[in-house]
Chains A and B, each alone.
Chain A
Amino acid sequence: MARTVAAFKVDYFQFLNPDGQLIEGQQLPALARDFERLVTMYRQMVRTRVFDKKAIALQRTGKLGTYASCLGHEASHVAIGSAMRPEDCFAPMYREYGVQFCRGVTLTDVLLYWGGDERGSDYAHAPHDFAWSVPIATQCLHAAGAALAYKLRNEPRVAVSVVGDGGSSKGDFLEAINAGSAWKLPLVLVIVNNQWAISVPRSRQNTAATLAQKGIAGGLPSIQVDGNDLIACLWAMEKAIEAARKGHGSFVVEMLTYRISDHTTADDARRYRPNEEVEEAWAKEPVARLRSYLMDQGAWDEGQEQALLAECTAEVQQAADEYLDIVTNDPQPVTTMFDFMFAELPHDLAEQRAQAEHYQDTGGQH
């Protein structure tokens, strides 16, 4: 008769229900009552959302290139960013502005990048974080490599990466899990499962009951949380990051959320998903959820809400103005194509650089 040699389970954590009420009957993290902290997070979530709306408006009016919205991901993203320390390292995919703003990436940085200007990836205030990684899931291995660097140098730092439900199908992600397990790396891999990979639904990636269990298969403790519940996301990230920092190895956290927006501004999600699904997602979205909790608890009120919206709108407008001013009045010279290729410009590129400079005015005259 067979005997069981290994058995697994995946725990799911949710502390705030979609109506913004605490789910009693379980041990609640102290965080749930730390209103000062929660208000700080809430402010960051609103700031991210106001930014997102502005970025889409800029794209729609021809002032920004293709843009990947983060609408609906605010709790997941802000929780990840808030749980990290400045000396940790983040390896993003392409829509985690909520994480990045916590890390010091500026609103203007993000606009420059999607506005086709390389300076957007030169984060003055997040000096060692990786830049956006458009080739899906590749960033997971960069985070694993960063984690190995910290481990080999005995530094109490943690590398964090985010991958999507689609990206979790790629070898890079599974290889990062394996590396985390092989070397007990200070690595936290977050799957932001927003149910869609462009037009491909979660159910088409595979039939696994959870994506978190891929971590378990590789030997990592792995859990699932409600990605629209800031308290659950932050609690999970703090636990995982601190354990990783203490040398307990790598962790996988799957955050269940929903991509309310189109995949990017170049996409039209109405072609492949029913509107009812999006409406349902609105009923569970993270910002309203945390707001009603904070208001119920007397930690937030309508006046503060209006003041915050006004403040964020002004800040975002200022960033948009700054971005437009930079690309209009201080455009990157054509020579910057060459100047960051190598530490020292090789001779053949020097020749081409001069040629590009000579022809730069014809750019556009195709």
Chain B
Amino acid sequence: MAAITLIEGVTLALARALEEDPGVIVLGEDVGVNGGVFRATAGLQQRFGEQRVLDTPLAEVMIAGMSVGMAAQGLKPVAEAQFCGFTMPMVDHLMCHAGRMRNRTRGRLSCPMVLRFPTGGGIHAPEHHSESPEALFAHMPGIRVVMPSSPGRAYGLLLAAIRDPDPVVFMEPKRIYRWQKEEVEDNGEELPLDVCFTLRDGSDITLVTWGAMIKETLQAADQLESEGVSVELIDVATLSPLDMETILESVSRTGRCVIIQEAPRHCGVAGEIAAGLADAGIWNLLAPVKRVCGYDTVMPLYRNELNYMPSVRRIVDAAHQVLEVS
């Protein structure tokens, strides 16, 4: 069993899925010979051939639309968009077709496709390469939205996404593609979709986040622990549908919650979680729920990107505010 990175977890899951299901087709721009611009599909075309791992013409609408068609006719397309910014023209097919296929044909047709792509900032990438559009996808009925934050969860959740009978948007936090290594056994075991993962148990405050913000949130948790605060840390992992039960249960014990997201605050997933707490968790709350988010601005070019993204200090300050309320 080897220690692998998050992106290697993606590659391992893709290989496993290609191996076990002849209907799985990996497609996208530069995914074949080049193995993907981040190397997520490295070696897959050599191993599984050009019929299974397809370099497409440069056309996102085509990739999304054809994935819908392939999925409805018995294949399992696992499409890659090269960067989050280039998924925008794909929204048409996701919103108007993929998420509705099962419903509008009363179950006669379905759309078991996966659209995976790197998301988020912090790697000095050019314009349109660093956004966090998860809320856009989470707003679409009929579509699951998943974001792993560790090598093991990348492997297990991607396998689950590919095997799932419905469309899944699988967002890969590229800033932590190579952050940590973890031993991951290639045993074909999937992790459950639609549940949060509690990464740390604690009793004073619940920090809720997902994707690459796990990194800063862990650092903030360490800092708070060193001050004697007991932190519970939850990785949401599946953003739609949302496992409020795990979050509510945690907050029923801690009474305090800070939600951290890299995406802009307005109409984001953090707001949805806060609404869930206001609805069913209000009597357990000892303090207002705080959100630490990206600003409601265009994602700046790289010189300012770290000023845009929530920092450890912003998270710790928000936690202090919440802890101060007695």
Spell out A's residues near B (CB within 8 Å). Answer: 65-66, 94, 113-118, 132, 134-136, 164, 166-167, 169-171, 197-200, 204-206, 264, 266-267, 271-272, 327, 331-332, 334, 336-338, 341, 348-349, 352, 355-356, 359-360, 362-366
Contacts and interface: CB of A to CB of B under 8 A. Distances in A.
Given A65-B302, A115-B303, A199-B33, A352 B295 contact: yes
Interface residues of B, number: 49
B58 A134 contact: no
B80 interface: no
A359 B308 CA distance: 10
A135 B35 CA distance: 21
A359 B312 CA distance: 11
B122 interface: yes
Contact of B312 (A171, A204, A365): A365
Contacts of B296: 348-349, 352
B216 interface: yes
A360 B300 CA distance: 14
Interface in B1-52: 29-30, 32-35, 37
A334 B126 contact: no
A167 B55 contact: no
Interface string B48-88: 00000001111111100000000000000000000001101
Nearest to B85: A135
B110 to A, nearest CB: 26
B136 to A, nearest CB: 15
B57 A341 contact: no
Contacts of B32: 199
A332 B297 CA distance: 15
Given A199-B55, A272-B34, A332 B29 contact: no
Contacts of B305: 116
Given A337-B304, A363-B306, A365-B312, 17 more contacts: A65-B124, A116-B304, A118-B304, A132-B127, A134-B126, A134-B129, A164-B58, A169-B57, A170-B61, A197-B58, A200-B55, A267-B37, A272-B34, A332-B304, A337-B295, A337-B298, A341-B298
B30 A360 contact: no
Contact of B311 (A116, A166, A338, A365): A365
**Nearest 3 pairs between A and B by C-beta?**
A116-B302, A199-B34, A166-B58
A183 B266 CA distance: 40
Contact of A134 (B29, B37, B127, B314): B127
B280 interface: no
Interface of B: 29-30, 32-35, 37, 55-62, 85-86, 88-89, 122, 124-129, 215-216, 219, 265-266, 295-298, 300-309, 311-314
A349 B295 CA distance: 8
Given A198-B34, A199-B34, A331 B126 contact: no
Contacts of A366: 122, 215-216, 219, 306, 309, 311-312
Most buried by B among A66, A169, A331, A337: A337
Contacts of A117: 301, 303
A172 B33 CA distance: 26
Contacts of A113: 301
**Chain B interface secondary structure, helix, strand, loop or mixed?**
loop
Contact of B297 (A114, A341, A360, A365): A341
Given A200-B55, A272-B34, A116 B307 contact: no
B300 A118 contact: yes
A280 B33 CA distance: 22
B55 A363 contact: no
Nearest to B298: A341
A334 B55 contact: no
Contact of A198 (B30, B309, B311): B30
B88 A363 contact: no
B59 A169 contact: yes
A271 B33 contact: yes
Nearest to A170: B59
A170 B13 CA distance: 30
Given A132-B127, A332-B303, A359-B311, A171 B59 contact: yes
Nearest to A336: B304
Nearest to A353: B295
A205 B127 CA distance: 25
22 contacts: A65-B125, A116-B303, A117-B303, A118-B304, A135-B86, A166-B29, A169-B62, A199-B32, A199-B55, A200-B29, A205-B57, A266-B37, A271-B33, A337-B307, A337-B308, A349-B296, A355-B295, A356-B295, A356-B308, A359-B313, A362-B314, A363-B304
